[in-house]
Amino acid sequence: MRLARKITDLTGPGFTDGFGVGGTDLGATVRAPDGRLVSVFGDTFEIAGVGGPGWRSPVVLFADPTSVGDGLRWTGCAGEDGYAQQVVGYRHQGLRRMGSSMLSLRRISTVLPTDLLVVGDDLWLHVMACRELGNPRATELHRSRDSGETWEPAGVRWPGDHLGGLFQMLTWEVDAEGEWVYALTTGFQRAHGLLLHRVRPASIADPAAWEGWGFDGSSWDWGRTPTEVLPGAFGEMSLRRVPDASGREWWLLVVFDAGNYRIDALLLDHPTANLHTAPRATLVAGAGWGDEDHEGGRVAQLYGGYTVPGSTLEDLHLVVSQWKTDTNWPYKAMQFQVDASELVPR
């Protein structure tokens, strides 16, 4: 299968600076109840890079759903006067904020989003409250009842060491019947494998309602301490239901495989499918800075990899991040496109 090709930059000068977004990353995206696309980004700065004025995270941008094929066209942001404001209440470096968020009582450096989920008329956001990069103190859920314009803490948190620290980074999706939300999780260190969980949509904010998918030595079942479903060294993930050309819907897991320096896709007929044997392909390959080829799917210091709503397996669109850590630019999100239909078993 051919690697993905770059469609366009999504953030940075000429793209998002009108919202006060110069440098940013991540970009998990869903279709909101009002029809717009909602993308959530991580550490954000007003200048094109890392550092300087306007440090906030997470921030939310809105896009026209008809713009996917040519690259997301931003139509607005969560914030006042066209400025993308931080949607979770806290201050960086642990300065206390007056308000209701539980995060305000903890010393943290930043709050990073991992994924969004749509359930009925609500948007849910899972975030990591970090002492510093790679060291979440806790994870929390936040909810929007107005398609991402405003957000409130949902009153639920998990300690950073929950399940051995493998409940820090999360991706989730609700099944077609609306009966279960399935979630894959791992640590934020890009050094661990994946765990699988499920929860009823109405009970997302009840930690006791979350069930693990576990192996007891002879069989797999729900309601157990979760067992690693795929070993490795993984980072950002995106679990979504994506159709193929025939209309059949698949579960597609796009994951940053940090151990192999690439973004891969795994095709599943159900979240409990065997990830060891699932069809798998590399979508974007890591490269050195002198060996980049964005048209050929080779990107230096890549990460992320989030499926854009409206994608099909034949026309799969991804949000991919890049951060040149020695100079702090590029630090941006980009959109890539690939035909992933070869993943479908013949």
- Express each pLDDT in 31-86 by its tens digit: 999 999 999 999 999 999 999 999 999 999 999 999 999 999 999 999 999 999 99
Give the whole-number percent of the chain exceeding pLDDT 70: 96
* Residue 249 pLDDT greater than 60, yes or no: yes
* Residue 91 pLDDT greater than 90, yes or no: no
* Residue 98 pLDDT greater than 60, yes or no: no
* DSSP at 2: P
Once rounded to an integer, what is the mean pLDDT over residues 252-267? 98
Tokens of residue 4, six digits: 């993905």
* Residue 150 pLDDT greater than 60, yes or no: yes
Tokens of residue 207, six digits: 């930690």
Tokens of residue 69, six digits: 């094929």
Tokens of residue 201, six digits: 């949509």
Whether 111 contacts 92, CB under 8 Å: no
Q: Strand 280-287 vs strand 262-268: parallel, antiparallel, or unpaired?
A: antiparallel
What's the pLDDT band for 99 if we cut at 50, 70, 90? very low
Whether 257 contacts 281, CB under 8 Å: no
| E-strand stretches of 87-168 | 110-119, 122-132, 135-144, 152-159
- In the numeric block, the tokens 């819907």 are attached to 249
Q: Which long-range contacts (CB under 8 A, 24 or more apart) does 150-156 make?
A: 150/78, 150/87, 151/78, 151/87, 151/88, 151/125, 152/100, 153/88, 153/89, 153/100, 153/101, 153/102, 153/103, 154/124, 154/204, 154/205, 155/102, 155/205, 156/205, 156/206, 156/207
Tokens of residue 217, six digits: 């030595």
- CA separation for the pair 300, 262 (Å, rounded): 10
Instruction: Output the average pLDDT for the chain.
Output: 95
Return the domain boundaries, the chain: 5-341
Q: What is the pLDDT of residues 315-329, one digit of tens each?
A: 999 999 999 999 999
Whether 35 contacts 328, CB under 8 Å: no
Instruction: Kindly list the strands in the beta sheet with 37-41, ordered across the sheet, starting from the edge strand earlier in the chain.
Output: 26-31, 37-41, 59-63, 74-77
What is the reported pLDDT for 93?
61
Sign of CA dihedral 260, 299, 278, 229: positive
Whether 249 contacts 174, CB under 8 Å: no
The CATH number of domain 5-341, selected from 3.40.30, 2.60.40, 2.115.10, 3.90.220? 2.115.10
Q: What is the pLDDT of residues 189-245, one digit of tens each?
A: 999 999 999 999 999 999 999 999 999 999 999 999 999 999 999 999 999 999 999
* Residue 314 pLDDT greater than 60, yes or no: yes
Least confident of 95-109, 226-240, 242-256, 307-321: 95-109
Between the alpha carbon of residue 21 and those of residues 11, 51, 62, 171, the distances in Å are 7, 12, 13, 24
- CA separation for the pair 324, 316 (Å, rounded): 26
**102-140: b (≥16 Cβ within 10 Å) or e:** bbbeeebbbbbbbbbbbbeebbbbbbbbbeeeeebbbbb
- CA separation for the pair 156, 144 (Å, rounded): 15
**209-232: b (≥16 Cβ within 10 Å) or e:** ebbbbbeeeeeeeeeeebebbbeb
Q: What is the pLDDT of residues 275-294, one digit of tens each?
A: 999 999 999 999 999 999 99
